[in-house]
Structure 1
Amino acid sequence: MKYLFGLLWFFSTIAFAQTSPLRVEQPRVEYKTNPIGIDVALPRFSWKLISSQRNTMQKSYQLQVAKDAKFSKKSTIWNSGDIPSDASHLVDYQGPTLQSRQRYFWKVKVTDNLGNVAESAVQYFEMGLMNSADWQAQWIEPEKEGFDVKKQQPAPLIRKEFTTKSKGKIASARLYLTGRGLPEMYINGQRVGQDVLVPGWTAYQARIQYFTYDVTNQVQSGKNAIGAMLGDGWYRGNLVWENNRNLWGTRVALLAQLVVKYTDGSEQIIGTDESWKATTDGPIRENDLYNGETYDARLEKNGWASVGFDASTWWNVKLGNYPKDNLVAPAGPPVRRIEEIKPLKIFKTPAGETVLDFGQNMVGWVKIKVKGDAGTKIRVTHAEVLDQKGNFYTANLRHAKCELNYTLKGGVNETYEPHFTFMGFRYVRLEGWPGEPAPDDVTGVVIHSDVPISGTFESSKPLVNQLHKNIVWSQRGNFVDVPTDCPQRDERLGWTGDAQAFARTATFNREVASFFTKWLRDVAIDQKPNGGVPHIVPDLLQRDNPDGIKSSAGWADVATIVPWTMYEVYGDRRLLETQYESMKKWVEYIRKNAGDKLLWSNGEHFGDWLSYRGNAQIGEPVTDNDFIATAFFAHSAHLTSKAALALGKATDAVLYGELYNNIKKAFLEEYMSPSGRLVCNTQTAYVLALHFDLLPENMRPQAAERLVQDIKNHGNHLTTGFLGTPYLCHVLTRFGKNEIAYALLNQETYPSWLYPVKMGATTIWERWDGIKPDGSFQDVSMNSYNHYAYGAIGDWMYRNILGIDLIDNGFKKFLIAPKPGGGFTYAKGSYESPYGTISSAWEQKDGKTTLKVSVPANSKALILLPNASVDKVNQAAKSQSLKVTAQGIEAGSGEYVFEW
């Protein structure tokens, strides 16, 4: 009977699992799926509920963490018990201290408000090296003395052979890897991992990331070989501009620790030390992020990372005197190969050059397949655009060579792609190619930080769809471990102003919480003792002048704007708490500079960077820097007050709230006339004053009218730069001027968002007129064609055309309120919130409007039907069995269709 009862229970459990309307999906730890090598002492768990029933909310959860996947009583280290809560995003671990290198298994069981129970699949996370004492390996430098450190260097090869224990079966193997430079690791001839440009770019003087790899399948019983190639990277390669090198050091170094565990419980550690051998006589003769790579295939060392290779002529390495207590596991995602693109065409330019067009301005490199005589030299150069005559154009790259030089070994089919560089390009020029290249001979490899896609957008306007595509591609190309300004010329730096202007749009396109978590830590690290925030992070421009830097308004405000944005979008309280002191320090820096008058009228500022300045005969008014600086002072004080309130810091909340109000008073006395006119009669001036709520409420409508009038005076064109553009359409929509916002979006002539699209752009340009109407170019000294700052309009497109916006932090409750207009007949899109997929799709046809909405489980929506009368709203809500309140239609999870 017991056996029969057990069978009945087993089969009924299977049937329940197959028919249950509730599922738990996407379980993650610290935004990652089954991560290994994390160093967060109290990791956070997230999961999403999927339900076929409407109005599903989580009623309770139970988390368990164990040392094995069976969750036996002995192995379980933490059982939360049944917690009455709807929390399913970033739930804190609350068990005992987690141990270095230990793998932990976890699962979550949830109960919903409809009586359904579901459990996640068993997941795991693995801790990294939590303490510096866990590192038994030593830093090694593979270079001989006497190199000219002012020039690009060969990439050293470093290797060692080792033997696993003769007795004992291998249970697991982990490689912990970092470098001063860019190490690419091999075990027994096979490359380790899929990541590129490891260990990424951080404030190296304070911290360097290390990466953890599961190499169990690469380590074999008996003899083994391990090796690394070391590129210059950000550490000692060219950075900033005009051939600046060695900004963190003159010598590359490697730190690697391989830990092999055996089934009998013993372990073996193979680490970098003086027993390793090195050579600089390998095939990579030069490597640099800006200039590219020179590779001589005749110098390849076949089997150099395999057992039995003769390294008798290689020389010894020496120990590097570097710390280990500044090594951290990556908080953000790695950079990886994401996509491959084939050229659309191969053609001869008027100058007779062979050029390939990939049809998309991308970031990465090309992979070539070629066959020819030994010693044949191929040169591959990269460009974003062609000139007026259709010839290859590279002047805007400035000092960056952006080229690959490949020498054939000859006689065989050869495949090559670079290791330690990347380019921004649409076009590739081939020189020295044996014969005529075919489309399959050259492939574009797209790289960027591997951040998950979170948003989609489509509309009835093809040009606007291309604009959205351009925004996404610019984000992809400029999110290469840090948020850069551009990816092609001799710059590629973490400009803070660009990042803060684009951050909100970035969250719609990709899930960037962990990406910005990583970078914001360096913002705080590079912040100066007096609270000043440098122009770029990691800081290279002002690092040696800690107390004398001059921070720029709108750039340095990244310290307040981006942490608050991440908190709003992802509900990440820990990130906000981590950055809070940095926020305060920044506001206090401004307060000191502003003085008792609370007007920030000193310092050096970039202002409303690259705003429209009119033609040579009729100049445009410029928004004064002190106006902008004081406006951002108020905004940062306000955000710091809100952050303090969110973190339960009541005293600070009052303090910075009062500061905000006092700055507003000073601002009005200084910059607004009694009639309500601002002293700076520019679009940006009115946009900042309105968006930051600096004007009295009774003065705001007339200020909005003045903004509209200025736009109309310019023939429905914008004149804003980097600081005014992100908020421009938001302000117009907020004050009932939605059609003017649409008029700006639809504008096809310069200056506008669609002008570059009409000119063939596939990414966002740095300047409104990077290519002028006559086909000539803007100033070559600063003319990037992949620069996402003006792509900040994407935020408005999601929040207003689609109508997807948050109400509660983290989208626990959100708004669906599309605002049709501008000649659009339909728009549809989605956003992957922390709780699941939110979608909004509307269409206007034959006098009828249809809106389709999807609300994920464990969240709620407030839905506003555009241009619908009260009767139509009530009728539409009744058809879906939904409640109408004074605010709108309230909806729980499910899919809904409204027609009116």
Structure 2
Amino acid sequence: MSVAREPRVVALRVGRRRDISVAASPRPPVSWLVEAPAAWVAVRAELRLDGAAVAVASPYGILEDWPFAPLRAGGTHALEARVVGADGMASPWSEPCEVRAGFPAGAWSAPFLRLADPGRAAQPFLARREFTVAETVVAAELQVAAHGVYHARLNGADVDDAVLSPGWTAYQRRLPLHLTDVTSLVRPGVANVLAMEVAGGWYTESYGFGETSERFYGDQAAVAPLLRLRHSDGRVEEIRADARWRLTGDGDLVSSGIYAGDEIDLRRHPRGWDATAFDDATWETPALSEPDRQPEVIDVEPVRRIRSLPVVAMPESADADRILLDFGQNIVGRVRLRVSGPAGTRITLRHAEVLEGGRLSTRPLRAAAATDTFILDGAADTVCEPRFTFHGFRYVEVTGYPGALDPADVTAVVLHTDMTRTGWFSCSDERLTRLHENIVRSFAGNALSLPTDCPQRDERLGWTGDAQVFAPTAASLFDADAFFASWLDDVAAEQRARDGRVPTVVPQTLGRLGETMAAGWGDAVTVIPTVLHERFGDRSLLERMTGPMRAWVDTVADAAGPGRLWERGFQYGDWLDPTSARPDKAKTDPGLVATAYLARSARLTADALTLSGEAETSARYAALADDVRDAFVAAYVTPRGRLASDAPTAYALALEFELLPAALRRAAAERLAFLLRAGGYRTATGFLGTPLVLDALLSEGQAWAAERLLLQTMCPSWLYPLSQDATTVWERWDAVRPDGSLHPSGMTSLNHYALGSVGDVLHRRIGGLACAEPGWGRLRIQPWFVSSLEHASVTHDTPRGRASVAWERDAAHRERVRVHARIPHGVTALVDLGDRAPFEAGAGIHTWNATAGVRAPAAIGVDSDLTAIADTPDACALVSRSIAEHSPEMATEFDAYIRWVPGSRLRDELAAVSAPDAVVTRIDRALTTLAR
């Protein structure tokens, strides 16, 4: 790592997205990074647009307000920046950033075109229009709105590399408009052709479960293209949908569905349809309709093909006529294959996350067929890839393949919204590093146009609760500001239509089920804007969301009534608590959970209003938060710090949401640690408790309990799925049972990021790098020196530059630790190494020595107290495993009832399940080895 020798400005951009610098509005935010010697102090910045310079008060560009006159639609400008130091020295001007004003001029209006007489519901179609371009054309921009998804080609070339454009929003409230600069593809002076392939995508999909499933938006796809050609004299010529377009529903894409997959008959491909001189006389004239709402440009990266993965194995198939392919990891995307075969050959690809008995396990997919079909036209080396669908899968079953399949001819194409990776973590325990990789993979797979719950079954919806709990981890891994900011606009739009209630899914397509007003789910409207402000410095978004935040809190406060306890109505509560047989019947009382969230959201709303300068209104919500907290304590907390719901999630919520009097926090944390140890440090929290439980322990000095919980390998635990070859985070802690069987529920996804919310803890706690001030203007460096780890490191590309922390133990003296840190220019850090008073550190590269206690294992055996055994790493798992070797049924019984509490011996507990003396002796000998 090195530090800049002289000040300079880099990474200049406009808007929230990082892939290209396009202004989605006339006054886009501006961001940049400053690199400079640590001692050099920047005091202001200057921006220059097309040569005209203005001063900016902040030298550090984090979504700064646009300082120039509003941009005019269609224009292209050169933006530069420099910073000025306290010594009067100015950096050189940055490299020019080309800014394209990518928004429509005034109100947008273009007709939609669709098939006049489609043969069936959700009929894909091709559309083309030939036109002549004058020699005077100097710029061209394609603007497209759609009821569905489309792919456009101009003169035979793709207009961009986006997939499933323009993505999914709450279509009936916010219709996306996709703008693409196509100047380089236009051919002045000759005939041109704009060709579009259109499918229903999310617009024509059926939503719901079982018999409740139905189409929500419409039965047929439509597209509204507008090609704007700017001439050298400033005149703008527009080519839009009209009777001169020609359409056909007889293209090679026979059918398409997000859940069903694509069927492509290459024999029907109209060769040359996307070029001039194609005979479209048999194609039909389109039906035209005006848009029912004003579409808007969405300032977010599109879905793209991110990478390709090879086949890593070909498992033995239980069916001789079916070929199985294993891509080595659970991914989201589709398969591309190269094949030669006779015309009419039908190749079918089915997708699934797991195998059972040498076959695809499709039960977890429910009604999603997840099947792509290709019918060959006889051409050699044909490349086949679906166009308007995606699947969640690791395994693919191939039937009908002509001849022997060469795995080198098959690749998996990974798809997701093209966010920039910004956070990395690793440590000496490869299991934690693998867990982190699984978390990254799960979020990427579920960040496809909007944050979804899962990518494989007939759901793939924007569940607000999942996004709420995972948002901090997402912000630790990717530059997810634009992604979540766009989705929050949908959340706010859906909320406005419901008088303050936030539906449980956004876009809301689930009928009555999606209308549930649930704590932890609706609170996405307060939590996520707060996270985006903290991690990305997105103040304007937070200010914009204060209205929706207030509306949600007001609605919940009304539901709670004057008693300030939200105890009425259905709640998801601590969803999928592993100690409960039903996902919605967690051990923690749902009223306690809901009331805790009301207090938290009221506090977050008050804080946001303070930032917005609305002091009087802020005071009202702060008072509400205090009232709810007092009601919470009165109703649910005993004078000695016990909670009415004596469950880990209850204590985690009370501690992390700061609902307890200071005098009771220690007792509550001790009780939390007691309960976790009593359960053998197996996970006992669901969706809402899991993100909080480790922080609740660590903040109150219960580091050993946190370590044992994090490193547990028994089911349920964060590390248990690794023993079942998991490569993504599961929906259920026991989605795959220890015997290798799938959970019997109809709700079993192997790619669900919610329980991966521990990822933020890996960064902030083990890595020791946390944001201490919005936009990372100040860091907190406080590593958690986990006893069993030899080293750990975390790196994060903050809005102020790259920051990192790494630590390693001395091989000879493990209590001695060396800590390395990199702090970006203009940033300070509060450093807490645990063995001295916290201190300040400035920008630059630092190394510190620290002392961290190491807990030596105690000698244990079957006559040891149960708590001593539970506190010994791997001991509980060893006991369970040893019993299972004798009798799996006995192990199941033992694990179900055992409570690792003080005052009891393991020998007595083994006798209670009638363990033979030989088993007891074997366990005793095995336990003694753990202390060595």
TM-score by length of 1: 0.91
Task: Give the whole-Å Cα distance in 1 for the aligned partners of 2:335 and 2:430.
Answer: 29
Partner residue of 2:171 out of 176, 199, 204: 204
Whether the 8 Å contact between 1:277 and 1:317 is mirrored in structure 2 is yes
Whether the 8 Å contact between 2:14 and 2:23 is mirrored in structure 1 is no
Whether the 8 Å contact between 1:28 and 1:34 is mirrored in structure 2 is no
Q: Does 1:891 align with 2:841?
A: yes
Matches within 5 A, 1:186-335: 186-221=153-188, 222-242=190-210, 244-323=213-292, 325=294, 327-335=295-303
Give the corresponding residue for 2:794: 829
Which is worse superposed, 247-256 or 36-45?
Answer: 36-45
For 2:663, give the aligned amino acid: N
Distance change (3 Å), C-alpha of 1:576 and 1:468: same
3-state DSSP of counterpart to 1:117: coil
Matches within 5 A, 1:24-63: 24-32=9-17, 35=20, 38-51=23-36, 53-63=37-47
Q: Deviations over 1:753-775 (max 9, x none)?
A: 00001111000000000011111
1:321 shift after superposition: 3.1
Distance change (3 Å), C-alpha of 1:335 and 1:786: same
Matches within 5 A, 1:31-430: 31-32=16-17, 35=20, 38-51=23-36, 53-66=37-50, 71=51, 76=52, 79-81=53-55, 83-113=56-86, 115=89, 117-131=91-105, 133-135=107-109, 137-141=110-114, 143-145=115-117, 147-149=119-121, 153-165=122-134, 167-168=135-136, 170-221=137-188, 222-242=190-210, 244-323=213-292, 325=294, 327-352=295-320, 353-387=322-356, 389-430=357-398
3-state DSSP of counterpart to 2:545: helix
Q: Deviations over 1:201-242 (max 9, x none)?
A: 111111111111121221112111111010111111233433
Give the corresponding residue for 2:805: 840
Whether the 8 Å contact between 1:764 and 1:788 is mirrored in structure 2 is yes
Which is worse superposed, 188-197 or 461-470?
Answer: 188-197
Task: Give the whole-Å Cα distance in 1 for the aligned partners of 2:4 and 2:32.
Answer: 20
For 2:468, give the aligned amino acid: Q
For 2:29, give the aligned amino acid: R
1:440 shift after superposition: 1.5
3-state DSSP of counterpart to 2:206: coil
Whether the 8 Å contact between 1:24 and 1:119 is mirrored in structure 2 is yes
Partner residue of 2:628 out of 639, 642, 663: 663
Whether the 8 Å contact between 1:99 and 1:130 is mirrored in structure 2 is no
Matches within 5 A, 1:667-706: 667-706=632-671
1:249 shift after superposition: 1.5
Task: Give the whole-Å Cα distance in 2 for the aligned partners of 1:842 and 1:19.
Answer: 24
1:529 shift after superposition: 3.6
Task: Give the whole-Å Cα distance in 1 for the aligned partners of 2:657 and 2:19.
Answer: 41
Matches within 5 A, 1:450-465: 450-465=418-433
Give the corresponding residue for 1:584: 550
Distance change (3 Å), C-alpha of 1:615 and 1:173: closer
Distance change (3 Å), C-alpha of 1:740 and 1:783: same
Whether the 8 Å contact between 2:347 and 2:374 is mirrored in structure 1 is yes
Which ranges of 4 or more aligned residues in structure 1 deviate by more than 6 Å? none
Structure 1 residue runs of 5 or longer lacking an equivalent are 1-17, 871-885
Whether the 8 Å contact between 2:142 and 2:180 is mirrored in structure 1 is yes
Q: Deviations over 1:383-425 (max 9, x none)?
A: 10112x3432111000000011100001421001111000000
Whether the 8 Å contact between 2:576 and 2:586 is mirrored in structure 1 is no
Task: Give the whole-Å Cα distance in 1 for the aligned partners of 2:471 and 2:560.
Answer: 27
Give the corresponding residue for 1:512: 480
Distance change (3 Å), C-alpha of 1:516 and 1:448: same
1:98 shift after superposition: 2.2
Whether the 8 Å contact between 1:101 and 1:129 is mirrored in structure 2 is yes
Give the corresponding residue for 2:901: none
Give the corresponding residue for 2:858: none
Task: Give the whole-Å Cα distance in 2 for the aligned partners of 1:275 and 1:246.
Answer: 31
Give the corresponding residue for 2:568: 602
1:779 shift after superposition: 2.7
Task: Give the whole-Å Cα distance in 1 for the aligned partners of 2:364 and 2:355.
Answer: 11
Distance change (3 Å), C-alpha of 1:570 and 1:375: same
Give the corresponding residue for 1:13: none
Give the corresponding residue for 2:906: none
3-state DSSP of counterpart to 1:204: coil
Structure 2 residue runs of 5 or longer lacking an equivalent are 851-932
3-state DSSP of counterpart to 2:655: helix
Task: Give the whole-Å Cα distance in 2 for the aligned partners of 1:469 and 1:182.
Answer: 31
For 2:842, give the aligned amino acid: G
Whether the 8 Å contact between 2:577 and 2:586 is mirrored in structure 1 is no
RMSD: 2.0
Q: Deviations over 1:693-737 (max 9, x none)?
A: 111110111011110000010011120000000001010110011
Partner residue of 2:749 out of 759, 764, 784: 784
Task: Give the whole-Å Cα distance in 2 for the aligned partners of 1:20 and 1:94.
Answer: 29
3-state DSSP of counterpart to 1:639: helix
1:159 shift after superposition: 0.5
For 1:445, give the aligned amino acid: V
Whether the 8 Å contact between 1:238 and 1:289 is mirrored in structure 2 is no
Distance change (3 Å), C-alpha of 1:320 and 1:620: closer
Task: Give the whole-Å Cα distance in 2 for the aligned partners of 1:46 and 1:144.
Answer: 47
3-state DSSP of counterpart to 2:525: helix
Whether the 8 Å contact between 1:805 and 1:814 is mirrored in structure 2 is yes
3-state DSSP of counterpart to 2:416: strand
Task: Give the whole-Å Cα distance in 1 for the aligned partners of 2:585 and 2:166.
Answer: 46
Give the corresponding residue for 1:3: none
Task: Give the whole-Å Cα distance in 2 for the aligned partners of 1:304 and 1:599.
Answer: 64
Task: Give the whole-Å Cα distance in 2 for the aligned partners of 1:628 and 1:614.
Answer: 16
For 2:547, give the aligned amino acid: E
Task: Give the whole-Å Cα distance in 2 for the aligned partners of 1:56 and 1:273.
Answer: 61
Q: Deviations over 1:800-833 (max 9, x none)?
A: 0011111111110111111111401000120110
Task: Give the whole-Å Cα distance in 2 for the aligned partners of 1:699 and 1:730.
Answer: 17
Give the corresponding residue for 2:856: none
Distance change (3 Å), C-alpha of 1:620 and 1:415: closer
Whether the 8 Å contact between 2:25 and 2:102 is mirrored in structure 1 is no
1:550 shift after superposition: 3.4
Task: Give the whole-Å Cα distance in 2 for the aligned partners of 1:39 and 1:746.
Answer: 45
Matched residue count? 839
Whether the 8 Å contact between 2:18 and 2:301 is mirrored in structure 1 is no
Q: Deviations over 1:613-647 (max 9, x none)?
A: 2689xx99711111111111111111111111111
Distance change (3 Å), C-alpha of 1:21 and 1:87: closer
Whether the 8 Å contact between 1:355 and 1:427 is mirrored in structure 2 is yes
Task: Give the whole-Å Cα distance in 1 for the aligned partners of 2:243 and 2:653.
Answer: 59
Whether the 8 Å contact between 2:152 and 2:195 is mirrored in structure 1 is yes
Whether the 8 Å contact between 1:38 and 1:330 is mirrored in structure 2 is no
1:272 shift after superposition: 1.8
For 2:218, give the aligned amino acid: G
Partner residue of 2:416 out of 440, 443, 448: 448
